[in-house]
Structure 1
């Protein structure tokens, strides 16, 4: 049985690490910090039909995860006809402290790289354009998403307003007509 040390890893790294390992192995021992990392990995594994046993390991936990060896059943999803479009109107996710909101948005964008279903297009408006411009912690992930076929578009008016047009580093610019048409024709539009 392989042991994976996920201690001291920030969210969502422990779950992503375990997900990748379970794609190749049916039995794992995972070392985790107490709290959210243990809870998130346990929930992830159980939601995929794995058996999970936990034992205290010093200040953290050791989880033994055993899968059936068969691919996990996908969660039931509503059939989407048409493209999936993400509308990102802020450089933060949620309504809490700014620093936490920025960290959550960065983690969300990086985590998209690990999902099996990608959006066709990501539209960035208002302070969301800070994510696609020079100095953003999300640039590397956005460039990878673009390379995977996700269209990355930032509002030209917003870039002009914040004097960032010459600092755009991921994707291209767009206008409100294209944004409106994209949202109205989408099979699923998700606003963050």
Structure 2
């Protein structure tokens, strides 16, 4: 049985690492070492929601989760509803939520990086207002945005916003867009996700 150690990993790394481990295990049991609290709960919930059974064994300072198929195919895909039109994402800030700034930035970074591990991606990502800080020099998600672009996601940053923050020359991911293209893209999308 393969063992993967997810201790001392920040969210969402334990779930993402477990997902990859299950894919590589090809239906064989997998043991995942996790910290108590959210990592234990998140990995357990992830596995159960995909049809696996999970048994827990306390270990020094954490848990060993043994994940075994329970008659379901390994890592069954999450059903995606049919949609008409493209899927657009509107990102209007460099952080997620209204809590502490540091937490909001961490959540946004984790969200964008986690997109790389999903089967379904947005067709277009529109960055407006402080969201353009994510597509310009110094952003911690430039590599993730580049990889998303390589997978067909169109990364578009508001030109007015880049000018306002004096960042147009610092754009490092995607291309500059305008409000007409943004409005047309959002109104013509089959699904719009706003962050």
Q: How does 1:80-95 map to 2 (within 5 A)?
A: 80-95=83-98
Q: Secondary structure at the match of 1:137?
A: coil
1:129 aligns with 2:132: yes
> Counterpart of 1:40?
42
> Counterpart of 2:121?
118
CA drift of 1:95 comes to: 1.3
TM-aligned CA distance change 1:76 to 1:145, over 3 Å: closer
CA drift of 1:72 comes to: 4.2
Deviations 1:152-186 (A, max 9, x none): 00000000000000000000000000000000000
Deviations 1:88-133 (A, max 9, x none): 0000011111000000000000000000001100000000000000
TM-score, with structure 2 as normaliser: 0.95
Q: Secondary structure at the match of 1:99?
A: helix
Moved more, 43-52 or 17-26: 17-26
TM-aligned CA distance change 1:48 to 1:85, over 3 Å: same
TM-score, with structure 1 as normaliser: 0.97
Q: Secondary structure at the match of 1:24?
A: helix
Structure 2, unpaired ranges of 5+ = none
Q: Secondary structure at the match of 1:23?
A: helix
Q: How does 1:144-183 map to 2 (within 5 A)?
A: 144-183=147-186
Residue among 52, 55, 58 paired with 2:54 = 52
Q: CA RMSD in A?
A: 1.1
Give the number of aligned pairs.
192
CA drift of 1:76 comes to: 3.8
CA drift of 1:74 comes to: 3.4
Once residues 151 and 64 of structure 2 are traced to their aligned partners in structure 1, the CA distance between those partners, rounded to angstroms, is 35
Once residues 93 and 175 of structure 2 are traced to their aligned partners in structure 1, the CA distance between those partners, rounded to angstroms, is 17
Structure 1, unpaired ranges of 5+ = none
